[in-house]
Every structure is written in C-alpha cells, then in structure tokens.
Copies of this chain bind each other. A is one copy, B any other.
Amino acid sequence: MVTIYDIAKKAGVSPATVSRVLNNGPVRISTKEKILKIIEKENFVPDNRAVYLKKLNTKKIGLIVPDVLNPIYSLKIKVIHDYLKERNYYLILGNSYGYVDEEKSILEMFERERVAGVIIGTCEGEDDSCLVPIFTRMLNNGIKIVFTGKKNYGLKVDVISVNNVSGTYKITNYLIKTGRKKIGFISGEKSLRATEERLEGYLKALKERGLKIDKEIILCEGEYKLENGKRLTKKLLRKVDAIVCGNDLMAIGAIKAIEENGLKVPDDISVCGFDDIFLSSLIKPSLTTVHQPIEKISEIACERLIGWIDGKIKKEEEILIEPEIIIRESA
C-alpha cells in the first residue's frame, strides 16, 4: 500500500509536509497542489490506524443493541448512524441478544478499538449489573458512555430514556376509562429497568382508580418477543378483559394468541403495547400503544456523548422524555 513516505519521496518533500497537506496545516499553495496531485495519482488513502495512534479522538463510537431485528432498535441504529456520520464519527455495531456475556465481549472489543464513546442502546435482556466493573474501567480510561433506557448503577454516565412509568400509567388509565375492569400485565424479565417502571405505571393507575391488584394476572418473565407474548397471554385468557403489554412485539403475540383461541380483539379482550413500531399501524386490528420517541432519545444520546467527548459536558444527567399514547383499534 502507498504510504505518506512514498508520496513525500515523489513530491521531493518531507513526510511532515504531506501530513500538513492532509490536515490543512501551513503549506505553500503551490507545494500543496503538487502534493495533492500526486496523492490523487498514486491512489493514496491514509491509514486510520496510524492516524489515530497519535491523535486523541478516534472518531469511533460503539453502539450495543440487544436485537437488530426489533424495529425499535433498527430505528435507533439508523438515527444514531446518521447523526454521527454528519459529524464525522462512525459506528461500530454490536448485537448482544440481551446476553451479558455477549455484551461483555463487545465492550472489550470497543476498548481494544479505543472508541471515543459508547452508546448502550439496551433496555431489555438479562440483568447486567455485573458489567459495572467494565464500565468503570472504560470510564477511567477516558471512554465516554451514554445509556439509553437502563439503570446507571451509580456510574458517571447519562441516562436518556422514555418515561416508562408515565407511559403505562396513561395507557392503563385509558383502558379503565373505556370500562375495562380486569386488566392484566405481561412483559419481559422483572430485573430490567423497563419492566420495573412499566409495571409501576400500570400499578399506579390501578391504585388511583381503586381497582384491585391481582398478582395472578401480572406475568413478567422471558424475552420481550412475539412468541413470549403469545405464551404469556395464553395463561391469561378468560381471566382478563384487557392486557397491557411490555412492548409492541409482545402485544402482537398477545393478539395472535387471543384470536387463535377464538376470541376477538378488542371486543373480548383489549390489547395495548409499548414502542409504536412501524408494524403496529399495519396489522389488524391496528395496535393502541405508547409511542416511544426513539428519534429524540437517540439524538439526545448522541448529542450528549459528543458533548462529553469534546469536554463540553462534565456532569452526568438523567433525561426523561414524556411519551404519548396512540389510540388505534386494539383497545
């Protein structure tokens, strides 16, 4: 491969001068043009490995999501990718499947790559408190970290997330208003922040409206996926007249389960979700759900992360975005 030395030799200058051309340093216009011509002719492309060995900011950002197949994370990836690209950063992607072992190995890869910052796009999967030592080490080594939608474990990191409590509170209230009395709740693992808070909003609404809380119809286990929604819903059939689901995929599973058992949505059982993925408006009955402001969350996450990297932000913050509920056919 062509190096800066080859260019320097052909141009009759020192490598330092070529480097200055590449970095807009002070070089006489005529020499600059001569060097640029040679660079073009020789197909020279600088080697980032060497460039960023000297420079401080590697311009690389690591992003971890639990499931690229979940449209909510596809959207997160898209928004973050675009925001960063605009600012000359680029993205290394890790897909953790919600497993801490995977997440750990991805984080270690990010460390070796000396990424400037990391965005954790996770808010579902296993309990990941055991990653705290790695996060601490990364922070100590100057790698900036922003969480979206998970606990901060007392770390010096921003947390940007939707107000989960308020989301399920609003939608449960809506169900009550439409006359539903036996409202069930299904979601993924209890240990997760998303589960904890979404459950909290649901309970809050029931309490305020004086409805009885029945542990039999609250099921928080397994993954935030369609199949699991189906599985859990089967246990609630004929016990409830509405179900608040932990996310849209589970809600879609719930609708499938209800229909497969000869019942109707929303006539027999109302179903509502959380996320407002693309799909939710397309299925039938279309899904009543809590809209997650993914674009906003992702952009704030990027903005904060770059703020940290540029040294403009020094103090961590927890930023909650207020969600809206979207009323459609399923409830």
Contact = CB atoms under 8 A, between A and B. Distances in A.
Interface of A: 1, 43, 45-53, 58, 68-69, 71, 74-75, 77-78, 81-82, 90-95, 108-109, 111-114, 137, 140-142, 252, 278-279, 282-284
Given A92-B90, A109-B90, A279-B279, A140 B49 contact: no
Given A78-B95, A279-B282, 14 more contacts: A43-B140, A46-B112, A49-B50, A49-B58, A53-B53, A68-B81, A69-B78, A81-B93, A82-B95, A91-B92, A92-B93, A282-B283, A283-B283, A284-B284
A22 B81 CA distance: 33
A43 B138 CA distance: 10
Contacts of A113: 48-49
Contacts of A284: 283-284
Contact of A114 (B49, B69, B74, B91): B49
Contacts of A50: 49, 53
A279 B280 CA distance: 10
A72 to B, nearest CB: 11
B93 A48 contact: no
Contact of A47 (B47, B75, B114): B114
Contacts of A111: 45
27 contacts: A1-B141, A1-B142, A43-B137, A43-B140, A45-B108, A45-B111, A45-B141, A47-B53, A47-B112, A47-B114, A48-B114, A49-B49, A49-B114, A50-B53, A53-B53, A68-B81, A69-B74, A69-B75, A77-B93, A78-B95, A81-B95, A90-B94, A91-B92, A92-B93, A93-B93, A279-B279, A282-B283
A278 B69 contact: yes
Contact of A74 (B74, B91, B141): B74
Nearest to A136: B43
Nearest to A1: B141
Contacts of A74: 68-69, 71, 74
A50 B278 CA distance: 43
Contact of A53 (B49, B69, B279): B49
Contacts of A68: 68, 74, 77-78, 81
Contacts of A95: 77-78, 81-82
A252 B91 CA distance: 31
A46 B53 CA distance: 12
Contacts of A112: 45-48, 51
Nearest to A75: B69
Contacts of A53: 47, 49-50, 53
